[in-house]
């Protein structure tokens, strides 16, 4: 079961275990992580699950599809490492991933 650490803007860590195959967004919502709303239910139709993926984790992810790139245009302070948590499926290879939350979602 992959472990995920969500880091708030204030530096607060929320560590959750989620089943492989779940999305980062689902892991956050199911565990009450503040700042991840997932208003669209994981359909890549909003940007309320925007996160920053740090190294070395961002290199392990597939490139952003066009729909995700478009939605990130609606996000507050998008960066090269920005992703929508609903588009990242957890795998055993992502065990230990650390993601940071942007200011606009706190």
d(CA 106, CA 90) in angstroms, rounded, equals: 23
- Residue 102: pLDDT band with limits 50, 70, 90: very high
Tokens read off for 99: 């993601």
Q: Is the pLDDT of residue 105 over 70?
A: no
Q: Is the pLDDT of residue 9 over 80?
A: yes
Residues in the chain, overall count: 106
- Residue 103: pLDDT band with limits 50, 70, 90: confident
For the sheet with 97-100, list strands across it.
Answer: 13-17, 3-7, 97-100, 50-53, 82-84
Tokens read off for 17: 């275990």
pTM higher than 0.75: yes
pLDDT in tens, 48-64: 999 999 889 999 999 99
Which residues are CB-contacts of 56 (< 8 A; sequence separation ≥ 6)?
none
3-state secondary structure of 30: helix
Q: Is the pLDDT of residue 34 over 80?
A: yes
């Amino acid at each position: 079961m992959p472990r995920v650490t969500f880091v708030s803007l204030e530096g607060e860590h929320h560590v959750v275990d989620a089943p492989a195959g779940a999305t980062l967004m689902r892991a956050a919502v199911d565990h009450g992580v503040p700042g991840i709303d997932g208003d669209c239910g994981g359909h890549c139709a909003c940007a309320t699950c925007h996160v920053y993926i740090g190294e070395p984790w961002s290199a392990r992810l597939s490139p952003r599809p066009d729909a995700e790139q478009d939605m990130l245009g609606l996000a507050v302070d998008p960066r090269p490492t920005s992703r929508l948590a609903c588009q990242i499926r957890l795998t055993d290879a992502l065990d230990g991933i650390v993601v940071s939350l942007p200011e606009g979602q706190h």
